[in-house]
Chain A
């Protein structure tokens, strides 16, 4: 069966981003860009399913300007078979991304779509759920375990109270949580091979999707800074301060 994996190009998780001086956006000039960590886990899960013989082909999709081809190549180096880039320089909001993915799902007809549960830039946690809605598929979000068998997939989900397991009819959408797997590193020979794997380009217009933004960012600003307090000498002083100064115990 075929798996579609979505990958997003984001500011690397080690970079501490700051708002631009005029407060219109975050400053992403000259910062390191990487594949979103949750998307990397999605690619890894697809590759493991292929290694188990459950999956025969992995298609990696990314959307955005030309540079997001780098993240598709990363997915190809990790084990995806071919890539699709939806090229646009316009702002893409999660609903627009979900609609583009839906158009690709209609064409490619994968049995499983695996996405990260959220991207570490927008922190929206929406795209997988919206794709599932538009495609009429079941959704296994925040997955920590995925088992495919006989036309369905069992997904163990990380929920506030602990773990929940659901069974979804295929085709279905899965979004990854942190503990689903530990992604591998791409080997140098695989990075070289990835350069020769097929990568098709399309556009939102070709897919017939209206990507007009529905929300506008009016301002970005740093959060209120928390001031560092004091160091206490020992446990006795700590307990005393908590009782008489902070009055929280």
Chain B
């Protein structure tokens, strides 16, 4: 078996999600090769070559791949993918955008968001917002799979010495173009990679009050997230949303503040190692998954927490 893992990167840095995806590839077993498609992404290819367990890195360095436009990258992945038994990508927004498109070009029914590998053709994945876990077997010759990164422990970023081979395929479908992006700038760790996450919900009342959470976050080196209710209400931007349709996180410590605990939110954080809930409603469903619950007004408790840390 040979597995092609699609690297997640921003042309400068290899993203951690790639390491979790390679871990899933190791669980399947076989030769692991990594595709780095981008523009001016030589440093990323070098980094991928050092990752433990990688036997070869394919570097497709072309302007058409600069912004990871699905129309162009999927074509490349389909062209290369037919030589492999498995094609894996992290279930990030980039992976979710591109991978099904590549699968359709290969005439494969992809398997989204796997959380466990049962055998090379059988995988577990959550359905119905994580209320049910399905065990799914694929009969396609090539398995095209997106990986829920929080379900697999990252492999070591160092220790490998794979060869980097350049790929000379320039697929530009010519139907899409990158216009611009507004990326959140923050000195805090990324939500999906942080060891500690503190999230606010509707109980925060407005965006300004998130300042209370930022202060605690800075003491703990934590990332700050939000429930869908807080994002929908316009308190904070969408990239902070934790939940079924937002980001899936599994930090060592998750602190839910003023979050009632709708099933869609729980789907995004219930695999955290330790969960703390602070809510003034003692009946809030969040307490049913919390290791430590504090029934209190968040406007008293959060500032006190900050001073005691």
Contact = CB atoms under 8 A, between A and B. Distances in A.
**Do A and B actually bind?**
yes
Interface of A: 11, 16-19, 26, 93-95, 98, 117-118, 120-127, 129-134, 136-139, 141-142, 144, 154, 157-169, 172, 177-179, 213-223, 226, 228-232, 234-236, 238-239, 241-242, 246, 248-249
Contacts, number: 255
Nearest to A161: B183
Given A215-B139, A246-B253, A118 B132 contact: no
Chain B contact residues, majority secondary structure: mixed
A69 B112 CA distance: 28
11 contacts: A117-B245, A124-B112, A129-B101, A137-B175, A139-B71, A139-B97, A160-B92, A179-B231, A215-B140, A231-B293, A242-B274
B131 A141 contact: no
A142 B92 CA distance: 12
A123 B108 contact: no
A142 B175 contact: no
Contact of A19 (B99, B101, B132, B253): B132
B23 to A, nearest CB: 19
B12 interface: no
Q: Which of A163, A216, A238 has the most CB of B within 10 A?
A: A238
B128 A120 contact: yes
Nearest to B301: A235
Nearest to A241: B292
Q: Which of A16, A93, A133, A138 has the most CB of B within 10 A?
A: A133
A160 to B, nearest CB: 5
Interface residues of B, number: 89
Contacts of B292: 229-232, 238, 241-242, 246
Contact of A178 (B99, B232, B276): B232
B126 A133 contact: no
Interface in B160-189: 173-184
Q: Which of A132, A160, A177 has the most CB of B within 10 A?
A: A160
A125 B289 contact: no
B293 to A, nearest CB: 5
